[in-house]
Amino acid sequence: MEKIIEQLEKLNIKKEDYEFYGKNIAKINYKNYMNKTRSGKLILMTSINPTPAGEGKTTTAIGLADGLNYIGKKAILALREPSLGPVFGRKGTATGGGESEVTPVDKINLHFTGDIHAISTANNLIAASIDNVIYWKNELNIDPNKIVWKRCMDLNDRSLRQIEIKITKDISRKEEFTITAASNMMTILSLAKDEEDLRLRLENSLIAYDKQGKEIYLKSLNITGAVMALLVEAIKPNFVLTKYNSPTLVHCGPFANIATGTNSIISTQLALRLGDYTIVESGFGSDLGFEKYINVINQQNDLIPDCVVMVVTLRALNLHNDFDLNFDHLEKHLKHVSQYQLNMVVAINYIDGDSEKQLQQLQQWLTQNGYQWEMNEAYIKGASGAQKLAQKVVEVCQNSFEFKPLIEVNDSIKDKITKITKNFYYLDQVNYSKEAQIQIEQISKSQYKDLPLCMVKSHSALDGNEKNLENYIMNIEEVRINSGARFILVFTNNVMSMPGLAKYSNANDIDFIEGKITGLK
């Protein structure tokens, strides 16, 4: 608690503006600090397509924050909150590892301050209220077959992907759950700028269509106040420390393959006003997290990163056969960033046992092709192991650049899809399902036609071809509006918004023994 207070005081956060949740977690009342002038540099972490064990983006982000503070800079880390789906599933925890860790690991990964519970409950209150209106004579004339708002829960449960619910004796309808990290409520909260903006987004959230095809919004249910009451604490960023006492905001946790993939706008904007350097992470590879950060999170062009850090490991390069292919996979990810004319540093995330020969080969290729790079050894050495990376990032942040957008607001929906699939997935052609064609035509005639796209795609393959099919063409299966989050969801190749558990999952290894939680990976 003393260390938390010390860091809060260094950031000039007043006692009346934070509240402790136990001994080593606090919630910040952000409102009194958002009028301050933004003074911090924004550093965005991304990576190549990761291995099943990840690529170490979070670990590198933590190490970089520790390294920046180690060399005397005022750095703040802003991360997503872990979902219980990956924690109990295959991917595992999201608090780093080794000497690059955010603490307390068990609390952050298991329940934390209850934000995800609040988000799930708020989301499901809306779903329950929709069915309740239908039950009580349906005064809003809701079409049970055209309900947009889906239920959610914060676990992997494939059995809830498609279910049938009975509303009355005579009325049944099909329903599908999403995982909370991919829910409408998660993205709405993560993109809200403040309470006023959150209320506006909620009120204007499309929830269903009536039997004449007219849109029905959340404000028609008259429960916006109740939803706000459930989120009154969840909208406040959570404050914790790394193992080396770097201040860290952990807030909201949308997935990157089926949602927006980064921490809340509120926590990023707060960090930019409190510190000199803010480090944020975008999920999975740059084909997902980075693309969405630049084209969705940055839709107002107010969160352009001063430096992008591309995280690379030898194990992922070997997974993609990059040492045999002259770093073709890596180069495609580097092009994702360079096409926007942004500053970039490649962080080689060192893992004990890495081949010195391959490290030299990678470093030589990067140097010969004009890419800035540095080693990150923070996992083993802690803050001092990221010292050189921190210095390199500080140096590169000083370089001037001129951001070059890829997508224009008034591009058509199909033009936006083409730009993303061509420039991020390297595909010259995609197929559209009949349903997607109809949905695009309908949205193109609506008030939502100029919204940015949030692509739903597999994270394991750059082009989404995770099964290595011959003559592969990506399928655009479905297109939906999330009017509260203010983007259009584009589903590809039958990617599900509710993951399933592996045959042997992390849940098989987690236990509570002699007062301690064990098995968190």
- Is there a single domain that holds both residue 384 and residue 332? yes
CATH number at residue 280: 3.40.50.300
- Is there a single domain that holds both residue 47 and residue 86? yes
Tell me what pLDDT residue 299 has. 84
Return the closest-CA partner of residue 476 out of 441, 439, 430. 430
Could you report the per-residue pLDDT of 351-395, keeping only the tens digit for each?
999 999 999 999 999 999 999 999 999 999 999 999 999 999 999
- Residue 405 domain flag: no
Per-residue pLDDT for 417 more than 90? yes
Per-residue pLDDT for 113 more than 90? yes
pLDDT band at residue 85, thresholds of 50, 70 and 90? confident
- Residue 497 domain flag: no
Percentage, residues of the chain above pLDDT 90: 88
Per-residue pLDDT for 284 more than 80? yes
- Residue 37 domain flag: yes
Could you report the per-residue pLDDT of 71-81, keeping only the tens digit for each?
999 999 999 99
Handedness of CA 216, 222, 228, 230 (dihedral sign): negative
**For 83, left (φ over 0), alpha (ψ -120 to 50), or beta?**
beta
Any known ligand binding at 203?
no
What is the Cβ-side half-sphere exposure of residue 281, based on CA atoms within 13 angstroms? 34
CATH number at residue 425: 3.10.410.10
How far apart CA 120 and CA 358 sit, in angstroms, is: 45
- Give the mean pLDDT of 343-347: 98
- Is there a single domain that holds both residue 338 and residue 262? yes
Tell me what pLDDT residue 519 has. 85
Tell me what pLDDT residue 244 has. 97
Tell how far CA 309 is from the center of its chain.
16
Percentage, residues of the chain above pLDDT 70: 100
- Is there a single domain that holds both residue 374 and residue 251? yes
- Residue 181 domain flag: yes
- Is there a single domain that holds both residue 285 and residue 429? no
Where are any strands of DSSP class E within 61-126?
75-79, 96-97, 100-103
Residue 20 DSSP symbol: E
Could you report the per-residue pLDDT of 424-434, keeping only the tens digit for each?
999 999 999 99
Contact, 376 vs 348, CB < 8 A?
yes
Instruction: Give residue 188's identity as a one-letter amino acid code.
Output: I
Any known ligand binding at 52?
yes
- CA angle, residues 223, 226, 231, in degrees to nearest 5: 130
String of DSSP letters for 190-231: HH--SHHHHHHHHHT-EEEEETTS-EEEGGGGT-HHHHHHHH
Any known ligand binding at 56?
yes
Any known ligand binding at 61?
no
Tell me what pLDDT residue 392 has. 98
Q: What is the residue range of 368's domain? A: 1-114+234-397
Return the closest-CA partner of residue 175 out of 184, 183, 166, 185. 166
Instruction: Give residue 370's identity as a one-letter amino acid code.
Output: G
Return the closest-CA partner of residue 283 out of 100, 485, 454. 454
Tell me what pLDDT residue 473 has. 96
Tell me what pLDDT residue 93 has. 81
- Give the mean pLDDT of 443-466: 94
Per-residue pLDDT for 124 more than 80? yes
Contact, 217 vs 206, CB < 8 A?
yes
Tell me what pLDDT residue 521 has. 80
CA dist 156 → 111, 179, 425, 491 (Å):
15, 7, 27, 19
- Residue 166 domain flag: yes
Tell me what pLDDT residue 1 has. 85
First CA to last CA distance, the chain: 25
- Give the mean pLDDT of 103-132: 96
Tell me what pLDDT residue 91 has. 74
- Is there a single domain that holds both residue 359 and residue 290? yes
How far apart CA 64 and CA 386 sit, in angstroms, is: 6
Any known ligand binding at 256?
no
CATH number at residue 135: 3.30.1510.10
Specify burial of residue 106 (Cβ count, 10 A radius: 0-12, 13-18, 19+): middle
- Give the mean pLDDT of 66-92: 92
How far apart CA 80 and CA 90 sit, in angstroms, is: 18
- Is there a single domain that holds both residue 385 and residue 242? yes
Sheet containing 487-492: which strands, arranged edge to edge?
Answer: 430-432, 474-482, 487-492, 453-456
Tell me what pLDDT residue 180 has. 97
How far apart CA 498 and CA 258 sit, in angstroms, is: 9
Phi/psi at 342 (5° precision):
-95, 155
Tell me what pLDDT residue 150 has. 96
Per-residue pLDDT for 460 more than 90? no
Instruction: Give residue 101's identity as a one-letter amino acid code.
Output: E
How far apart CA 366 and CA 372 sit, in angstroms, is: 7
Alpha-carbon torsion angle 96, 97, 98, 101, nearest 10: 40
pLDDT band at residue 290, thresholds of 50, 70 and 90? very high
- Is there a single domain that holds both residue 148 and residue 253? no
pTM for this structure? 0.95
How far apart CA 427 and CA 424 sit, in angstroms, is: 8
**Domain boundary at 198, 231, 264, which?**
231
pLDDT band at residue 188, thresholds of 50, 70 and 90? very high
- Give the mean pLDDT of 410-420: 97
Better-scored residue on pLDDT, 194 or 514 = 194
Any known ligand binding at 54?
yes
Mean pLDDT across the chain: 95
Low-confidence winner among 253-257, 357-361, 492-496 (lowest mean pLDDT): 492-496
